[in-house]
């Protein structure tokens, strides 16, 4: 299927005005302010740097390519790292913009690598900054961390800044009191070897965004001070793009081998139940359509038009905002409160505006929503997506006959574990006496809309819960916490006295009330607490399973979208869910991840993955960065193919449909280039080509035979 008319692409005059293959991220890559650098680590072959600590890693200094480099074997562990610790008085890095290290990856696969800078008390979320890069095989990759020293009144609420790029995630740090920095791998599934060198501070005397001319956002929500292929120049061009895309979509051929649910019409015929279900066939897990055909869920999340950004205390950032009254675009103002992060300047609440909706208005007219839903559904089909993913406007699916997933979120009135906080908040307390009743009420409300639709594949429950905090966090909860009481009862049944437990755990608790998890965990303490995590998780998953069976008996329970993957919780999920879901932000589903999924004994669904770049006016490449749109598209294809090759995976869903606002989504300041379309509702042509190509392989390779497990 070659040629733009068959791929739903515009001709060269629309987006491909120049060769995109050679247009790399240098146009908007982070830049140092000033030329002065300050070396941090002196490497000498045959000896290790002073103050180097190896944590689940093995390091040696070698001579390579004419330079001294630190060769590091990162072991299979949660956070293997090499850490450089400061002298007793700490390091003073005041006056520098950031820190960087150069990484050489000798392996054949991309590797996600992170760097962290610590103040005293750093724990991964607090008192530290973190940055991540995707080290491409056979290339030199700079891993650069821009310090977060607190939001200024001038530029705030963005995870990536204009002309600077991504700011280190985490709380603001005091550069005059740096106690350590480290290079680590985020939860690798196997050992990796990397070469590190060029440790240095950069940007002497610089301050991120200090010299940026204002305003820097044009009337369409684009970056004002740069050009790139596909940048919108006027409203007439926007409408012309809509006309051209209509022509292209009208001439795009439908997939001939699909049933009406996008299942494999030409494949094996299985039992048709009228609803989606799962089946393991010849060693491979599958979803099965209501018509009895094999189905691999190729989805895209957040198919919606709700993106909005704060305009509160930002008036001078924008070329244009509508008048308060009488302006037809004023309806796209909003007001929100309760921001998760990045909005301290305004107390987490204030006025917002949606440039995406304003552009849809310009494109389709004041009553744009129906046109947007129709075009969006046609795009998804043309690009080979067959599932409207999580957090989407389900009318796009229901009105256009597309399969979709629904989401259940337990309400805030449920009691939380007050001593077990993760990134998104505290874990629910499943031992709260009201837990079952509240779950029942929540499931009933969601099921009322979706349980009668055979297009609904199933339900997720919650998202990226803080399972990793349960093991140690429950004992840090207040004395009246129901989960803590349940754990103490369990421990007292196993250990006759607190003295007996102290002897086995290696603790010195004066009483059961004073008991806390030891650091590090002893073998016995770890085993006891893991056993409790398993019971805790079984209560969570079984309760939701029972309520879904009561209110939505025909749909699948798709699990909770694990981010971290504690074994006891994952195994408990597999006991009660039809499908176990994971958000896996890596280069792909490699042999180790596939092996882990195979051990679960249930089908697996990838609920989120993405790649981003900074060559089209965006300031942050997201969680897994790439060099350019061309490389982003290649990474997308590679990931989907790796999922197809794993016999446990029944689907993978891209996060998300539209780019986040360049000035940050209101909730947490994310401003990632992770969309299939940009803020002007223009598709990224490289991504469209990649999606058409790889989705064309869903049912055209021999997937009926076992593959990787």
The answer to whether 607 and 302 are in contact (CB under 8 A) is: no
- Tell me the C-alpha distance between 71 and 191, whole Å: 13
Residue 705 has pLDDT above 70, yes or no: no
Alpha-carbon radius of gyration of the chain: 26
- Residues 150, 247 share a domain: no
What local confidence, expressed as pLDDT, does residue 7 receive?
26
pLDDT, position 12: 26
CB-CB contact of 146 with 123 (8 Å): no
Percent of the chain with pLDDT over 90: 81
- 3/57 same-domain check: no
| Confidence (pTM) | 0.89
Q: Which structural domain range is residue 161 located in?
A: 34-202
Three-state SS at 190: coil
Considering the chain, what is the average pLDDT of its residues? 91
Q: Answer whether residue 481 shows pLDDT above 60.
A: yes
Cβ count near 372 (within 10 Å): 20
Q: Which two tokens stand for residue 36?
A: 């002065």
pLDDT the model gives residue 420:
83
Q: Does residue 420 form part of some domain?
A: no
Kindly report the number of other CB atoms within 10 A of residue 125's CB atom: 13
**H or E, element range at 53:** strand 52-55
Residue 689: which H helix or E strand, with range? helix 685-695
Neighbour tally for 96: CB within 10 Å: 22
Closest Cα partner for 242 from 581, 683, 590?
683
Q: How confident is the model at residue 677 (pLDDT cuts 50, 70, 90)?
A: very high
Residues 586 and 606 in one domain: yes
d(CA 381, CA 389): 14
Q: Is the pLDDT of residue 581 over 70?
A: yes
DSSP characters over 539-598 = HHHHHHHHHHHHH-TTSEE----BSS--HHHHHHHHHH-SSEEEE--SSS--HHHHHHHH
DSSP string, 244-300: HHHHHHHHSPPPTTB-TTS-BTTS-B----SS-EEEEETTEEEEE-TTSBEE-EEEE
Torsion sign (Cα): 363, 365, 370, 371: negative
CATH of the domain at 593: 3.20.20.80
Q: Which of 124-133, 346-355, 387-396, 543-552 has the lowest mean pLDDT?
A: 124-133
What is residue 326's predicted lDDT score, i.e. its pLDDT? 87
The set of residues, in sequence order, having a beta carbon less than 8 Å from that of 454 and lying 6+ positions away, is 261, 274, 275, 276, 290, 554
Task: Mark whether 101 and 185 lie in a shared domain.
Answer: yes
Q: Kindly report, residue by residue over 413-470, the tens digit of the pLDDT.
A: 899 999 888 778 889 999 999 999 999 999 999 999 999 999 999 999 999 999 999 9
Please check whether residues 144 and 245 belong to one and the same domain: no
Same domain, 218 and 176: no
Give residue 703's pLDDT band: very low, low, confident or very high (50, 70, 90).
low
Residue 32 confidence (pLDDT) above 60:
no
Residue 108 falls within a domain, yes or no?
Answer: yes
Task: Give the neighbor-by-neighbor strand order of the sheet with 349-353.
Answer: 309-310, 349-353, 333-337
18 and 62 in one domain?
A: no
Phi/psi at 187 (5° precision): 50, 60
What would the pLDDT profile of 292-349 be if each residue is shown by its tens digit? Answer: 999 999 999 999 999 999 999 999 999 999 998 889 999 999 999 999 988 999 999 9
Count other Cβ atoms within 10 Å, centred on residue 528.
Answer: 21
**Position 306 in a domain:** yes
Assess whether 320 and 371 both reside in one domain.
yes
Q: Would residue 232 count as lying in a domain? A: yes
Task: Assess if residue 188 is contained within a domain.
Answer: yes
Kindly report the length of the chain: 709
| Residues 327, 180 share a domain | no
Based on the structure, what is the number of domains in the chain? 2
Is residue 33 predicted with pLDDT exceeding 60? Answer: no
Whether residue 27 is predicted with pLDDT greater than 60 in this model: the reply is: no
pLDDT tens digits, residue range 198-243?
999 998 876 777 789 999 999 999 999 999 999 999 999 999 999 9
pLDDT given at position 580: 98
What gap in Å lies between CA 663 and CA 671, rounded to an integer? Answer: 6
- pLDDT computed for residue 172 by the predictor: 87
Q: Is the pLDDT reported for residue 513 higher than 80?
A: yes
Contact 432, 414 (CB under 8 A): yes
Who contacts 119 (Cβ-Cβ below 8 Å, separation ≥6)?
A: 127, 128, 173, 174, 177, 178, 179
241 and 331, same domain (yes or no): yes
Phi, psi of 34 (to 5 degrees): 85, 170
- Partnered with residue 264 across adjacent β-strands are 258
Judge whether 661 lies within some domain.
yes
Please answer whether residues 351 and 359 qualify as being in contact, where contact means their C-beta atoms are separated by less than 8 angstroms. no
Q: At what angle do helices 235-251 and 355-364 cross, to 10 degrees?
A: 70
Neighbouring C-beta atoms of residue 527, cutoff 10 Å = 11
* Alpha carbons 666 and 679: distance in angstroms, whole number: 15
Q: Stretch 606-621: mean pLDDT, rounded? A: 97
- Three-state DSSP class for residue 504: helix
Q: What is the DSSP code (8-state) at residue 476?
A: G
In angstroms, rounded to a whole number, what is the distance separating the alpha carbons of residues 166 and 161? 6
Q: State both tokens at 92.
A: 């003073």
- Binning pLDDT at 50, 70 and 90, where does residue 709 land? low
Contact 222, 231 (CB under 8 A): yes
Is the Cβ–Cβ distance between 134 and 141 less than 8 Å?
yes
CATH number at residue 158: 2.60.120.430
Closest to 93 in 3D by CA, of 178, 183, 205, 181 = 178
Sign of CA dihedral 655, 661, 662, 666: negative
Q: Which stretches of 426-580 are DSSP H helices? A: 435-450, 470-473, 482-494, 498-505, 523-551, 567-576
Asked if residue 154 belongs to a domain, the reply is yes
Q: How would DSSP label each residue in 329-389?
A: GGGGEEEEE--SSS-GGGTTEEEEE-HHHHHHHHHH-TT-HHHHHHHHHHHHHHHT--EE-
Region 576-581 average pLDDT = 98
Are 49 and 197 part of one and the same domain? Answer: yes
264: buried, middle or exposed (CB in 10 Å: 19+, 13-18, 0-12)?
buried
3-state secondary structure of 654: strand
Region of residue 470 (phi > 0: left; psi between -120 and 50: alpha; otherwise: beta): alpha
20 and 108 both lie in a single domain: no
Tally of CA atoms within 13 A in the half-sphere of 341 that contains its CB? 16
**Region for 425 from its dihedrals, namely left if φ exceeds 0, alpha if ψ lies in -120 to 50, beta otherwise:** left
Which of 90, 184, 84, 175 is CA-nearest to residue 133? 184
Residue at 610 is within a domain: yes
Mean pLDDT for 94-98 is 91
């Amino acid at each position: 299927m070659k040629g733009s008319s068959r791929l739903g692409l515009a001709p060269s005059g629309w987006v491909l005005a120049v060769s995109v293959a050679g247009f790399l991220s240098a146009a908007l890559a982070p830049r140092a302010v000033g030329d002065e650098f300050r070396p941090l680590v002196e490497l000498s072959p045959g000896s290790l740097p002073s103050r180097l600590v190896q944590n689940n890693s093995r390091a040696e200094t070698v001579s390579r390519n004419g330079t001294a480099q630190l060769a590091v074997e990162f072991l299979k562990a949660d956070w293997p790292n090499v850490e450089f610790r400061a002298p007793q008085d700490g390091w003073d890095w005041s006056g520098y913009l950031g820190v960087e290290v150069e990484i050489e990856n000798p392996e054949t696969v991309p590797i996600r690598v992170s760097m962290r800078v610590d103040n005293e008390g750093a724990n991964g979320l607090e008192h530290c900054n973190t940055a991540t890069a995707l080290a491409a095989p056979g290339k030199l990759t700079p891993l650069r961390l821009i310090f977060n020293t607190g939001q200024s009144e001038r530029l705030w609420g963005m995870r990536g800044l204009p002309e600077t790029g991504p700011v280190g995630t985490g709380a603001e740090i005091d550069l005059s009191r740096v106690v350590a920095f480290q290079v680590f791998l985020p939860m690798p599934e196997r050992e990796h070897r990397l070469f590190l060198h060029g440790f240095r501070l950069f940007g002497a005397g610089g301050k991120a965004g200090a010299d940026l001319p204002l305003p820097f956002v044009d009337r369409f929500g684009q970056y004002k001070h740069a050009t790139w292929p596909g940048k919108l120049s006027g409203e007439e061009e926007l409408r012309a793009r809509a006309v051209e895309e209509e022509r292209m979509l009208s001439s795009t051929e439908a997939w001939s081998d699909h049933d009406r649910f996008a299942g494999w019409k030409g494949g094996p015929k299985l039992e048709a139940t009228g609803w989606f279900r799962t089946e393991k066939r010849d060693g491979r897990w599958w979803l099965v359509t209501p018509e009895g055909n094999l189905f691999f869920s190729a989805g895209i999340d957040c198919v919606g038009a709700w993106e909005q950004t704060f305009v509160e205390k930002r008036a001078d950032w924008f070329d244009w905002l509508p008048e308060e009254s009488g302006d037809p675009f004023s309806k796209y103002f909003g007001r929100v409160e309760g921001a998760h992060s990045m909005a301290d300047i305004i107390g987490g609440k204030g006025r917002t505006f949606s440039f995406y909706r304003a552009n849809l208005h310009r494109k389709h007219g004041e009553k744009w929503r129906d046109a947007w839903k129709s075009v969006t559904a046609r795009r998804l089909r043309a690009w080979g997506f067959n599932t409207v993913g999580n957090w989407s406007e389900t009318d796009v699916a229901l009105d256009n006959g597309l399969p979709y997933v629904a989401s259940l979120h337990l309400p805030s009135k449920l009691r939380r574990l007050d001593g077990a906080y993760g990134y998104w908040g505290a874990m629910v307390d499943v031992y709260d006496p009201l837990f079952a009743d509240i779950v029942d009420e929540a499931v009933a409300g969601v099921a009322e809309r979706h349980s009668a639709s055979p297009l609904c594949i199933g339900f997720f429950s919650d998202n990226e819960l803080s399972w990793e905090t349960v093991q140690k966090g429950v004992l840090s909860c207040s004395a009246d916490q129901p989960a803590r009481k349940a754990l103490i009862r369990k421990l007292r049944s196993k250990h006759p006295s607190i003295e007996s437990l102290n002897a086995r755990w290696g603790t010195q608790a004066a009483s059961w009330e004073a008991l806390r998890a030891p650091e590090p965990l002893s073998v016995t303490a770890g085993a006891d607490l893991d056993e409790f995590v398993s019971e805790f998780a079984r209560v969570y998953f079984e309760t939701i399973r029972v309520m879904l069976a009561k209110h939505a008996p025909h749909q699948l329970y798709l699990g909770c979208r694990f981010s971290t993957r504690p074994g006891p919780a994952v195994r408990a999920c597999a006991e009660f869910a039809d499908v176990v879901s994971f958000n896996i932000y890596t280069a792909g589903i490699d042999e180790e991840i596939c092996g882990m999924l195979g051990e679960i004994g249930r089908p697996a669904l990838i609920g989120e993955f993405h790649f981003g770049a900074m060559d089209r006016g965006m300031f942050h490449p997201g969680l897994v960065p790439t060099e350019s749109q061309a490389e982003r598209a290649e990474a997308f294809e590679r990931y989907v193919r790796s999922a197809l090759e794993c016999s446990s995976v029944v689907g993978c869903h891209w996060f998300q449909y539209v780019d986040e606002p360049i000035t940050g989504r209101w909730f947490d300041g994310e401003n990632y280039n992770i969309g299939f379309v940009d803020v002007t509702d223009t598709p990224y042509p490289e991504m469209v080509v990649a999606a058409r190509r790889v989705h064309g392989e869903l049912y055209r390779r021999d997937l009926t035979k076992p593959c990787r497990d």
